[in-house]
Structure 1
């Protein structure tokens, strides 16, 4: 099987744990051979839930030098690209080559979008323009921009990230696929079947080639329950997803597996065969330590297959 870079979602633990416990957990992840941590992002989701992805990434990167960070999905359409570019510059200066930014248009909670001063009906177009501006500012050159949503006059962000921070687009809609092909360095899937993932990889590559671009970064974020007892794994995963998304777990069960490491690895194998070079688990387990150990077992099983 092709090489896979493996990640583990830890945003809640990174923000909530004290310094000693945070160091211990991130060291355990790195010792297990996992290459990245994955940090989510929401401003105010379904009544107030949230976690700032770039703040959490800063904490993780400053704590454990052996780990990279994938921020995804960052609600870039809800922020001004000038301030996002400054944060990326600072992160890249602190941890060069260790940051990937996954972006999405949001919209699952229209109130979150509207309360950030963004018209929910224009969030996709706003994200397209945001990506154009972020890419221009990421060069370190002076940027003049007069667009539908943003106006910049002799704007500049220094130092320019070196190497550049990859911008990968999340979402399975036709608009997201076009966005990844036109503006992204890659595509990040979530809540999709292996068949849909494979088709999207092909679509993004083909549309990018038509534009004279080469998009080669493809990843998957996977909610999963992990335990030696599959029934326990489901009992751990279902209430967590239902609480966050306000939907019954049955709506997600086909794309968010619960089971043993062997079962989750078997679920993931077709995605890797379809081109997923980056796999990030969003796990539920009996403890954060158990989540790391089970995720490491999934990783080993995938790499051996």
Structure 2
């Protein structure tokens, strides 16, 4: 495939911005090259680093036609009307589809970083989802929801209606995402666990998305890669939503030592206590070719898009110009990806 827009029914490929080891001000050249590398989507997350919107706006200005997605924005940290306006503005700028991913996030991002309460996360996501879909349909929304009240109407409707997807881990959020939204984005799971997500989500409607975000450290240095994985996984797996998620997946016993260290205030110990087997399942690493083979195992027919979050490596630090070649090597060719679920 020579361009970033896949044929009908094919999985879409995207990358998380900013890319590893590359300042945002240096992204234009590689963003413009993404479609030629087979990537039609750009994504952002939002935690303690970059915000979840600036990089996407820059990418759409540099390369209109890319599909932009947030994976995800915390539902509690921005006003509902501002979120609707932002997604509509981005859709107009890029003249394409925007996937506005919203989620409950974690207390560390909502309360510690933003001073907002993290209470009633499911209700807040549900209410925001319902509002956004009505607003994008062109409705003047005057409503009192359980978690907020609003009087809002988009004055300029975008050329392509944004989709609203939900950051979802367990059955409750997955059902919400597929019964009331445009689909879901999920992450921090092993490839063999994707079918369980698909089953919990239930049958999709036309045009709904299931996006899988995969963390990838493309390096032959196993010690480095596992250390990078532990540094992140030791934190995320001990956040309450992810503890519940991995209990549901049946990984609670394997994480018991890490949880005990975390609960005792030993964050380094929580990371070090993670078994290699857990790190290797949840954190893709190896040569680009080995990573591609691992990524291919995530391509269940229910998956519509893959978001690759590329982390820094010694090789990319030494030769950042090799990043386009690495990205091209990580993407699984369509003829090896298998059929998609329609």
Report Cα offsets for 1:237-275 as digits up to 9, x if no partner.
437636975652745431111112222222222321342
Runs of 5+ in structure 1 lacking a partner? 43-48
Secondary structure of 1:53's counterpart equals: coil
Alignment length (residue pairs): 288
Task: Tell me how far 1:138 sits from its aligned partner.
Answer: 1.0
2:118 aligned residue (103, 107, 120)? 120
Residues 210-239 of structure 1, C-alpha deviation per residue, up to 9 Å, x if partnerless?
A: xxx556311111001103x25376168437
Corresponding residue for 1:46? none
Map 1:20-35 → 2, pairs under 5 A: 21-35=26-40
Aligned mate of 1:3, from 1, 5, 10: 10
SS in structure 2 at match of 1:220: strand
Aligned mates of 1:303, 1:39 — CA distance in 2: 28
The alignment's C-alpha RMSD in Å is: 2.8
Q: Could you say if the C-alpha distance between residues 257 and 41 of structure 1 is closer, same or farther in structure 2, counting changes exceeding 3 Å?
A: same
- Between the aligned partners of 2:37 and 2:58, the Cα distance in structure 1 is 20
Alpha-carbon distance change, 224 to 115 in structure 1, aligned in 2, over 3 angstroms: closer
| TM-score (normalizing by structure 1) | 0.82
CA drift at 1:115: 5.8
TM-score of the aligned structures, taking structure 2 as reference length: 0.74
Partner Cα distance (2:113, 2:229) in 1: 29
Change beyond 3 A, Cα 1:66–1:162: closer
Task: State how far apart, in whole Å, the 1-side matches of 2:172 and 2:221 are.
Answer: 36
Q: Return closer, same or farther for 1:302/1:290 CA change in 2, 3 Å cut-off.
A: farther
Q: Report the equivalent of 1:198.
A: 195
- Per-residue deviation, 1:30: 3.1
Deviation at 1:85, TM superposition (A): 0.4
**1:269 partnered with 2:266:** no
Q: Distance in 2 between matches of 1:294 and 1:29?
A: 12
Judged with a 3 Å threshold, the aligned counterparts in structure 2 of structure 1 residues 14 and 193 are, in CA distance, closer, same or farther, namely closer
Q: Distance in 2 between matches of 1:291 and 1:248?
A: 28
Q: Secondary structure at the match of 1:26?
A: helix
Q: Which residue is equivalent to 1:282? A: 309
CA contact (8 A) 1:11 1:56 kept: yes
Q: Is the 8 A contact 2:215 2:310 kept in 1?
A: yes
* Cα shift at 1:57: 0.9
How far did 1:196 drift? 2.5
* 1:82 maps onto 2:89 in alignment: no
What is the correspondence of 1:46-85 to structure 2 with a 5 Å cutoff?
Answer: 49-85=48-84
Q: Quick one: which of 318, 327, 332 aligns to 1:295? A: 327
- Among candidates 157, 160, 179, match of residue 157 of structure 2: 160
Q: In the alignment, is the contact (CA less than 8 A) between 1:89 and 1:158 conserved in 2?
A: no
Residue correspondence of structure 1 range 144-183 to structure 2 within 5 A:
144-153=142-151, 155-183=152-180
- In the other structure, the counterpart of 1:219 is 211
Identify the structure with the greater strand proportion.
1
Give runs of ≥4 in structure 1 deviating > 4 Å.
12-15, 242-247, 300-303
* Separation in 2, partners of 1:220, 1:163: 23
The answer to whether the aligner puts 1:142 opposite 2:174 as a matched pair is: no
CA contact (8 A) 1:230 1:259 kept: yes
Unmatched 5+ stretches in structure 2: 1-8, 237-266, 338-342
* Range that drifts further, 78-87 or 25-34: 25-34
CA offsets 1:56-100 (integer angstroms, 9 cap, x no match): 210111112353222111112322111100111111111122321
Equivalence for 1:37: 42
CA separation of 1:239 and 1:195: change in aligned 2, threshold 3 A: closer
Q: 1:50 is paired with a residue of what secondary structure?
A: coil
